[in-house]
């Protein structure tokens, strides 16, 4: 008889995640410079509900209360990001001491509460002045990132022992430079390929600086990764899977794990005219060695898989380009992501068998559901609770297959500014009333509190 309880390994890191722009507010206080997200949200028409992160969850002022919430939940770890323009308002050069002091106090507060800080250096809020010079499409931005990583880790490296260089370089390069839905809002395919390279390069260059300034620390990078799942498609899936796996996953994983950029994807880009016939001319001697710097862990963000449509969309040249299958068989969250917990187990197992990172953390996983307080003030977010429950069971299954999964961070500690969707999408396990800045633990938070305390969960009736 399988046990009713799924026990996690001793020392498993239970956490919750946020990012600077999504929660801090105080967009122009205490010497902070303008970021590309300030510029983007202040441009009419870019954000669905017309909102900005100017105030967001006002965490810049309420951080002490937020640490108290985390302590009440019993979080073992908190993943947050640092706002680069709060530290270096012009991107390089003059350091804003008030910005550094803010994060230093935050780190002290966390450690005092027994919560381990996991610091992400880049969660998308590039200083606008660097964007004005071309942003990530320019190699000089990778150089600037190393200076920034050095400044931050010199200040915090005695206390922060887990560093994540980048959050989702795919999103920065593709959503920001190719699809335009994220800052800086460009539709420039060649620039997005350069951006992805310079993001990875800046990661590789920053790794030694972080190790130097933070002795004994674990250093890694977080990728958003998409398992590919056969839908009810009549289309032969293998070549299409290979192709999209190349764009979404291998383009980032292969160079990070010392395998160069995938040749099949390079050839596709040449065919499509995104790069010249002589290939990736922006890759300079030594770059690939730098990108493949040894890391201590891989951060994995997983929300939903890519699944083939059952019909080729009209006008798409027989190419099933957008892959999400919408059909009655699956559930979707309020933001339109398919709920597919097995995908997490497939993904972690594949990473383990194919790339063998020494250690992995799920650095984000969660769901957007709009459930708010009922008349009695309680937030009954049953669907989020079940999403988390089933995904944790899938993570547990992966551990059973030998995957070295060392921790899990729910996205997100609290409702926050969801990029181009503004405040309409709520991913938090804590409800935020944006008028009063009141926070209320949702049912999912109370459930998660118990899971963390017991280091185990009840096996779900149906795990996917």
For the bound state, the minimum distance from the C-beta of residue 155 to ligand FCB, rounded and expressed in Å, comes to 24
Instruction: Decide: is 19 part of the binding site for ligand FCB (CB under 6 A).
Output: yes
> Of the two residues 427 and 448, which places its CB atom closer to ligand FCB in the complex?
427
Instruction: Decide: is 167 part of the binding site for ligand FCB (CB under 6 A).
Output: yes
For the bound state, the minimum distance from the C-beta of residue 368 to ligand FCB, rounded and expressed in Å, comes to 7
Please list every residue from 105 through 164 that binds ligand FCB, using CB under 6 A: none
In the list 361, 427, 431, 441, the residue contacting ligand FCB (rule: CB under 6 A) is 427
Instruction: Decide: is 293 part of the binding site for ligand FCB (CB under 6 A).
Output: no
Strand 13-17 and strand 116-122: the pairing is unpaired
400: number of Cβ within 10 Å: 11
Report helix angle 263-271 to 237-245, nearest 10: 90
- The encoded tokens of residue 429 equal 């396990």
Contact 195, 177 (CB under 8 A): yes
Count of positions (residues) in the chain: 464
Does 72 qualify as catalytic in the annotation? no
> Of the two residues 96 and 430, which places its CB atom closer to ligand FCB in the complex?
430
> Of the two residues 164 and 275, which places its CB atom closer to ligand FCB in the complex?
164
Instruction: Decide: is 387 part of the binding site for ligand FCB (CB under 6 A).
Output: no
Instruction: Decide: is 168 part of the binding site for ligand FCB (CB under 6 A).
Output: yes
How many residues bind to ligand FCB according to rule CB under 6 A?
12
Q: Which of the following is catalytic: 168, 289, 319, 354?
A: 168
For the bound state, the minimum distance from the C-beta of residue 183 to ligand FCB, rounded and expressed in Å, comes to 13
> Of the two residues 167 and 456, which places its CB atom closer to ligand FCB in the complex?
167
The DSSP secondary-structure symbol of 312 reads: P
Q: Is the CA virtual torsion 246, 247, 248, 253 positive or negative?
A: positive
CA distance 309 to 321: 9
271: number of Cβ within 10 Å: 10
Instruction: Decide: is 248 part of the binding site for ligand FCB (CB under 6 A).
Output: no
Write phi, then psi, for 236 (nearest 5 degrees). Answer: -60, 120
Please list every residue from 217 through 236 that binds ligand FCB, using CB under 6 A: 224
Q: Could you identify the residue written with the tokens 């992160």?
A: 53
Distances (CA, A) of 51 to 12, 32, 80, 81, 109: 37, 20, 22, 21, 30
Q: DSSP string spanning 108-157?
A: HHHHHTT-EEEEEEESS--BHHHHTTTGGGSHHHHHHHHHHHHHHHHHHT
Instruction: Decide: is 419 part of the binding site for ligand FCB (CB under 6 A).
Output: yes
Rounded to the nearest 5 degrees, what angle is found at the Cα of 116, between the Cα atoms of 113 and 118? 135
Instruction: Decide: is 171 part of the binding site for ligand FCB (CB under 6 A).
Output: yes
258: number of Cβ within 10 Å: 13
> Of the two residues 21 and 145, which places its CB atom closer to ligand FCB in the complex?
21
> Of the two residues 269 and 384, which places its CB atom closer to ligand FCB in the complex?
384
Does 168 qualify as catalytic in the annotation? yes
**Residues 345-374, mask of contacts with ligand FCB (x by CB under 6 A):** -------------------x----------
**Residues 294-333, mask of contacts with ligand FCB (x by CB under 6 A):** -------x--------------------------------
Write phi, then psi, for 452 (nearest 5 degrees). Answer: -65, -40
For the bound state, the minimum distance from the C-beta of residue 303 to ligand FCB, rounded and expressed in Å, comes to 6
For the bound state, the minimum distance from the C-beta of residue 225 to ligand FCB, rounded and expressed in Å, comes to 11
Closest CA to 82 of 53, 56, 55, 107: 107
Instruction: Decide: is 214 part of the binding site for ligand FCB (CB under 6 A).
Output: no
Among the candidate windows 129-137, 249-257, 386-394, 411-419, which touches ligand FCB by CB under 6 A?
411-419
How far is C-alpha 70 from the chain's CA centre?
20
Q: Could you identify the residue written with the tokens 């503004």?
A: 422
Q: Which residues bind ligand FCB (CB under 6 A)?
A: 19, 22, 167-168, 171, 224, 301, 364, 411, 418-419, 427
- Which positions are catalytic? 168, 364
């Amino acid at each position: 008889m399988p046990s009713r309880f799924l026990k996690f390994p001793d020392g498993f890191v239970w956490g919750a995640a946020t990012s600077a722009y999504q929660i801090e507010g105080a967009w122009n206080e205490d010497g902070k410079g303008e970021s590309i997200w300030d510029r983007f949200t202040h441009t009419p028409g870019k954000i669905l509900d017309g909102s900005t992160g100017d105030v967001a969850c006002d965490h810049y002022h309420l951080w002490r209360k937020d640490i108290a919430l985390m302590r009440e939940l019993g979080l073992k770890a908190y993943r947050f990001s640092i706002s680069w323009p709060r530290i270096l308002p012009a991107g390089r050069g003059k350091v804003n001491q008030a910005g550094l002091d803010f994060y230093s106090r935050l780190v002290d507060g966390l450690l005092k509460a027994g919560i381990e800080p996991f610091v992400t250096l880049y969660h998308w809020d590039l200083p606008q002045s660097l964007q004005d010079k071309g942003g990530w499409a320019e190699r000089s931005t990778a150089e600037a990132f190393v200076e920034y990583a050095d400044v931050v880790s010199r200040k915090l490296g005695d206390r922060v022992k887990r560093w994540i260089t980048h959050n989702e370089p795919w999103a920065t390069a593709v959503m920001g430079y190719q699809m335009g839905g994220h800052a800086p809002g460009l539709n420039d395919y060649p620039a997005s390929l350069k951006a992805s390279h310079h993001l990875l390069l800046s990661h590789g260059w920053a790794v030694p600086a972080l190790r130097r300034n933070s002795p004994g620390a674990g250093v890694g990078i977080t990728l958003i990764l998409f398992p590919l799942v056969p839908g009810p498609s009549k289309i032969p899936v293998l070549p299409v899977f290979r192709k999209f796996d190349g764009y979404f996953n291998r383009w980032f994983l292969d160079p990070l794990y010392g395998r160069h950029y995938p040749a099949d994807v390079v050839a596709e880009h040449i065919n499509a005219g995104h790069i010249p016939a002589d290939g990736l001319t922006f890759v300079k001697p030594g770059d690939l060695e730098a990108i493949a710097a040894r890391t201590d862990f891989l951060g994995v963000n997983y929300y939903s898989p890519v699944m083939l449509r059952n019909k080729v969309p009209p006008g798409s040249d027989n190419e099933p380009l957008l892959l999400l299958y919408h059909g009655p068989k699956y559930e979707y969250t309020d933001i339109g992501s398919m709920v597919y917990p097995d995908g997490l187990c497939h993904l972690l197992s594949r990473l383990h068998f194919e790339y063998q990172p020494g250690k992995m953390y799920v650095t984000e996983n969660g769901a957007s559901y709009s459930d708010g307080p009922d008349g009695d003030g309680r937030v009954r977010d049953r669907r989020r609770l079940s999403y988390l429950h089933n995904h944790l069971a899938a993570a547990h299954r992966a551990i059973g297959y030998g995957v070295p999964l060392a921790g899990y961070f729910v996205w997100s500690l609290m409702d926050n500014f969801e990029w181009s969707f503004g405040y309409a999408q709520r991913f938090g396990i804590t409800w935020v009333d944006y008028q009063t800045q009141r926070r209320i633990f949702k049912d999912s938070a109370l459930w998660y509190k118990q899971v963390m305390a017991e280091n185990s969960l009840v096996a779900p009736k149906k795990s996917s």
